[in-house]
């Protein structure tokens, strides 16, 4: 079990988890291709050992760059909160209680519309939180709004149940 699963409140369950879109890795992918092209050129020019050393160094840098991009990020909507967690060693977690959420906005560029990614912005009276490069941002937004709606109507249902049980 992960950090989020271990820190759920009583009666809280995960309803939706958003993922980063693969396009956030486009630059590292292109640089990896470039590294192999340069390695092929180095082999062609009989600089195999320096080319191999350069390739390994380049791939290590790209690997750590990808770790920094992902950074152990998780975006989760539960029945009570929106949780953002990042970090493997040093962890940062931000919880937004759904009953305090005032609005959810989705921003998409033209590329975002084509490849189905965007930024989801959740606002409260005190804070604004942006979740960038989310795959299926409208699914994430809908999940947040659905849980906000469920939380608004839940006390009414609980009161109706209590009135039915204790007339």
22 pLDDT exceeds 50?
yes
**pLDDT tens digits along 112-167:** 999 999 999 998 877 788 899 999 999 999 999 999 888 877 655 444 444 444 44
**pLDDT tens digits along 57-103:** 999 999 998 888 888 899 999 999 999 998 888 888 888 888 888 88
| Whole-angstrom distance, CA of residue 34 vs CA of residue 21 | 22
Contact assessment for residue 89 and residue 8, using Cβ atoms and an 8 Å cutoff:
no
Percent of the chain with pLDDT over 70: 91
């Amino acid at each position: 079990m992960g950090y989020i699963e271990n820190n759920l409140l009583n009666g809280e369950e995960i309803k939706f988890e958003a993922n980063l879109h693969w396009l956030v890795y486009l630059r590292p992918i292109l640089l990896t291709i470039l590294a192999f092209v340069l390695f092929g050129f180095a082999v062609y020019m009989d600089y195999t050992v320096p080319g191999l050393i350069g390739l390994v160094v380049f791939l290590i840098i790209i690997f750590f760059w990808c770790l920094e991009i992902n950074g152990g990020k998780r975006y989760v909507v539960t029945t009570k909160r929106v949780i953002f967690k990042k970090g493997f060693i040093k962890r940062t977690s931000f919880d937004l209680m759904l009953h305090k959420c005032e609005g959810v906005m989705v921003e998409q560029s033209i590329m975002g519309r084509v490849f189905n990614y965007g930024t989801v912005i959740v606002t409260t009276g005190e804070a604004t939180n942006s979740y960038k490069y989310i795959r299926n941002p409208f699914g994430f937004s809908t999940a947040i709004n659905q849980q906000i709606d469920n939380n608004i109507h839940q006390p009414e249902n609980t009161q109706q149940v209590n009135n039915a049980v204790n007339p």
